[in-house]
Amino acid sequence: MVEAAADPRVIRAFDVVEDGTRLANLCFGGRHRNRLFMAASRSLYAVYVNTRGVAGG
């Protein structure tokens, strides 16, 4: 999975450690919307990031 800015520079990359795993969905969450959840083939990953996701409505 790769985070990207409006211009195509890579900000941060995450290695998924399972063999044959594909990321199916990404979602920001947490109290401050600064936790990125990544749903993969067999697992759910979460990492804190230095940005906030858009508030849902």
The pLDDT, as a whole number, for residue 3 is: 55
Nearest to 45 by CA among 20, 30, 26, 32: 26
From first to last of its 57 residues, the chain has per-residue pLDDT tens of 555 556 667 667 777 777 777 778 889 999 999 999 988 888 888 999 888 888 876
Residues of the domain holding 39 = 2-48
Question: Residue 10 falls within a domain, yes or no?
Answer: yes
Question: Residue 54 falls within a domain, yes or no?
Answer: no
Question: Residue 15 falls within a domain, yes or no?
Answer: yes
| Number of domains observed in the structure of the chain | 1
- Contact at 8 Å (CB) between 20 and 30? no
3-state helix, strand, coil in the chain (%, to 5): 0, 45, 55
Question: Residue 28 falls within a domain, yes or no?
Answer: yes
- Contact at 8 Å (CB) between 48 and 34? yes
Rg of the Cα atoms in the chain: 12
Q: Tell me the per-residue pLDDT of 4-18, one tens digit each, with 9 for 90 and over.
A: 556 667 667 777 777
Q: What percent of the chain has pLDDT over 90?
A: 21
Question: Residue 57 falls within a domain, yes or no?
Answer: no
Question: Residue 42 falls within a domain, yes or no?
Answer: yes
Question: Residue 21 falls within a domain, yes or no?
Answer: yes
